Structure 1
Amino acid sequence: MPHGDHHHHAPSDPAGALREAEAACLRRGAQLTPLRRRVLEMVLEAPQPVGAYALLDRLRAERPGAAPPTVYRALDFLMAQGLIHRIERLNAFISCTESAHSGGEEHPHQFLICRSCGRTAELSDDSVVAAVAAAALAAGFSPARTTVEVEGTCGACAASD
């Protein structure tokens, strides 16, 4: 059964999303430091997946001494807390649309990535995970985590062609 079909976009209430993230971190005994909070805010504001170096460039405008390890440590923390995902194909990061509901636990997710505009939709469809797990089992493989990335054309771009 699918958890939902979510298109990634900047949340209509970024402040609310940040409050939820802070509350989730507190519940888990983790600290959303000002730097981690700012990196999360920049990911939330991005209209499509954003790379670490794009985040670093934005961060350096505010904190001239920011270095790559600074951003990567913040991104690692945010991923560990289930607040963002890494889109492997794009080497970029996207906010998690399920984090408020998942309690930060790993959840199945699939990403639909538009080749034309870069929009990315996050799906959490258990039937996709079950199909991959069944195929893996048939091949004698036991998956630990399943992430599926699908490239194609979103409805808006298809309609404009």
Structure 2
Amino acid sequence: MTNLIEEEVDAIVNAANATSIGGAGVDGAVHKACGPGLATECRTFARVNGDWCPTGTVRVTGAHDLTKVKHVIHTAGPVGENPDLLASCYREAIKAANENKLTSIAFPSISTGIFGYPLESAAKTAIKTVAEELKKPGTLREVRWCFLDNRESFNAYRKALDSQG
């Protein structure tokens, strides 16, 4: 298990909040590591129905003070269990990585913290979606998983990966 903000990849994915910038959990850690320039850049995005990053979509920014990565791909996951919206977060992040000609990306476990998505269900959706997206043409070659909490997330994602075959 590694810390998302310590990864050396082209992009990290920030589990963002749709309505606010630089909240708690992954979002807070990413904003702290990237410095104030990240929040400033995030505020430049047009709001959609009041959200700076609508649920299931992504916004791509620079990494600012986080020098080991080129971009931060922000996505706001669903509150509670919604497989379609969660899958959209992963799908859109991979699409953005390919559009920006990135070769490596690191994901957290989106929505399983304060958003309350059940961990095992989220892991299955994440692994299935990423596996499907990686079969499509694109520049992305490496996907890493990073968890802030403990071995529980690691074990859930490993189980989901093992069940993919």
TM-score, normalised with respect to structure 1: 0.29
- The structure with the largest helix share of the pair is 1
TM-score, normalised with respect to structure 2: 0.29
Structure ID, larger Rg: 1
